[in-house]
Structure 1
Amino acid sequence: MSDVTAATYVPNLSSSAFSQLKGQTTKVGADGANADTQTFTVSKAGEFNFKVNNTFTNVEIRNDRNEVVTTIRSKESASDATARLGPGTYTATISQANRAAGVRDYSLDVTERQNVLVTGAGATLKGTAQPPGNGDTGVQKHTFNVLQGGNFTANISLPNTRWAMMDKDGKVVAASDSGKPDSQQTFLQKPTYKLEPGQYTMVVVPPSSLKSPTDFMMNLVPRNADLSESGANQESAISKTLRERQTRLRQWASEAKPTSTKV
């Protein structure tokens, strides 16, 4: 993790899964509001999530040609935005929406938004979960591109974590949680999800009890949907329970209220 506190240090977002730009709004912006600037570089093209942890704070990010690549406007809660950046140097201007607030501390979190390719052999998502706070839930979004459709089970290493996968139309196609450790479920006990070729969005909701940034992995593993505990095609009692649980989780994901995360 990169904690940027000195103006002389220019972080490279491509070299870390998580970076944090911190400072104080001791300068004056073009609109007369208290502001500050941060410079960072990108050495490898990619998609990044920028999250400002402070209320009533504006962020504008420009490239080395002075073109605006993304903006963030937080109000009563933290807010974020996603930008696809190529190699180069960028400048973030952080300013206060409330001019009467005086000098304030701020922090801007930056994480890489992974675009995961799913083949017939499955796929792996690697991420870093951030503790919720400052009005933000810690929700992450990642893109999954399914090249070869099929049936998959899912394993996530972070306990007590909810997740949901939606297709391009926003329909939930898979959802679960890891409240029960994977070690207590056999491969045949895990729910099976059918994915067709296409692009999907994965939403990961880390536990509210998380105290520090924690690395996690999520694996999609190919699965023969006809397999059961008994080796027969009839639905077993365990499969029925898991199917009903999956239905409830999909309903939760489809009815969940929007968070401050914007993509």
Structure 2
Amino acid sequence: MGVAIPNASTMNWFQFRGITNELDSNLASTDYRQFTVSKTGEFNFKIADINTNIKIVDQNNKVVAEAKAKNEAAETSAKLGPGTYTAVISQAVRGVNEREYTLDITERQNIMMVGTGAQMKGIARAVVGNDSGVQKHTLTVAQGGEFVGNMSLPYTRWALMSKEGKVVASGDTMDPAKSGEDMLKKPSFKVEPGQYELVIVPPKNVVGEIPYQLNFVQKVAKAPESTEERPFDKIMREREARLKQWAAEDANKSSSTSKTTPYKMSLLA
């Protein structure tokens, strides 16, 4: 029975593990693995082994993604349509044969941010070899504004990058004691409409698979807090109250006097 070909459209994550035990036209030790895509989507390809190259080739033998790991893990991404693709894993150094490798293929989420915010759901996994554990996704901002980021996974960092590689916003949960604080007290950031790269760095000591959420919530202006009354304002307020009281008392006195017999004047003959 042949090995089933994985469908990248039906899995958030899968992994190819094997040995480069064939020689390509350049005499590089190589291995070939196939996968399919049933609906258009964007995917990340990460090779965790140093001095290892990967190419993703479509059914027309066209290279649609490529990465070269030198002294650390390498990653690339591509938007793929329906079809069958081949992952070509080869050693960068000639003469290095039958070497083990690990290739991760993950869904590259395209999160949509509207005026009220956005939500991203992911899974943190234990890192393998020289893999940094970094996860990358796409954030499309349809309506800009001011937002607050809230990550559910402790000891995690995240950053929002522009197309020019500039950090637009960032945050972390390195202090779990602050994870439950009021959202409105957390630092906010402003973002304009456009497309950004969302970079997430989970902790490396993850055991198994841990789901997490990253929520972007619209910043809501707080109602102004009541301030303590100044001594001068208190004096003026009390003075005004006394004046009103005295005026009322004088009005009552005038009203009661008007009901008595008026004083009669006599003219002398």
TM-score, structure 1 length as denominator?
0.79
Report deviation, 1:167. Answer: 2.7
Q: CA RMSD in A?
A: 2.1
Distance 2:69 2:180 in 1: 42
Distance 1:205 1:75 in 2: 21
Unaligned 5+ residue runs, structure 2?
228-269
Q: Do the aligned residues in 2 keep the contact of 1:77 with 1:134 (CA within 8 Å)?
A: no
Q: Do the aligned residues in 1 keep the contact of 2:43 with 2:77 (CA within 8 Å)?
A: yes
Q: 1:66 to 1:153 in 2, by over 3 A?
A: same
Name the SS of the counterpart of 1:215 in structure 2: strand
Aligned pairs for 1:1-263 (under 5 A) are: 8-181=3-176, 184-224=180-220, 226-227=221-222, 231=225
Name the SS of the counterpart of 2:95 in structure 1: helix
Structure 2 partner of 1:240: none
Tell me the amino acid that sits aligned with residue 187 of structure 1. M
Distance 1:152 1:191 in 2: 9
The percent of aligned pairs where both chains have the same amino acid is: 45
Q: Do the aligned residues in 2 keep the contact of 1:7 with 1:38 (CA within 8 Å)?
A: no
Find the structure with the greater CA-based Rg: 2
Name the SS of the counterpart of 1:188 in structure 2: helix
Name the SS of the counterpart of 2:122 in structure 1: strand
Q: 1:74 to 1:170 in 2, by over 3 A?
A: closer
TM-score, structure 2 length as denominator?
0.77
Distance 1:37 1:79 in 2: 18
Report deviation, 1:194. Answer: 1.8
Large movers: runs of 4+ above 6 Å: none
Q: Do the aligned residues in 1 keep the contact of 2:32 with 2:86 (CA within 8 Å)?
A: yes
Distance 1:169 1:71 in 2: 20
Deviations along 1:208-246, one digit per CA (max 9) or x if unpaired, are: 32233332211111121x317x6479xxxxxxxxxxxxx
Q: Do the aligned residues in 1 keep the contact of 2:150 with 2:183 (CA within 8 Å)?
A: no
Tell me the amino acid that sits aligned with residue 12 of structure 1. N
Please identify, of 163-172 and 90-99, the stretch whose mean Cα deviation from structure 2 is larger. 163-172
Name the SS of the counterpart of 1:99 in structure 2: coil
Unaligned 5+ residue runs, structure 1?
1-5, 234-263
Number of equivalent positions: 226
Tell me the amino acid that sits aligned with residue 186 of structure 1. D
Name the SS of the counterpart of 1:144 in structure 2: strand
Name the SS of the counterpart of 2:184 in structure 1: helix
Q: Do the aligned residues in 1 keep the contact of 2:29 with 2:95 (CA within 8 Å)?
A: no
Q: Do the aligned residues in 1 keep the contact of 2:161 with 2:196 (CA within 8 Å)?
A: yes
Distance 1:232 1:188 in 2: 18
Tell me the amino acid that sits aligned with residue 168 of structure 2. V
Distance 1:193 1:232 in 2: 26
Q: 1:68 to 1:154 in 2, by over 3 A?
A: same
Distance 1:90 1:183 in 2: 42
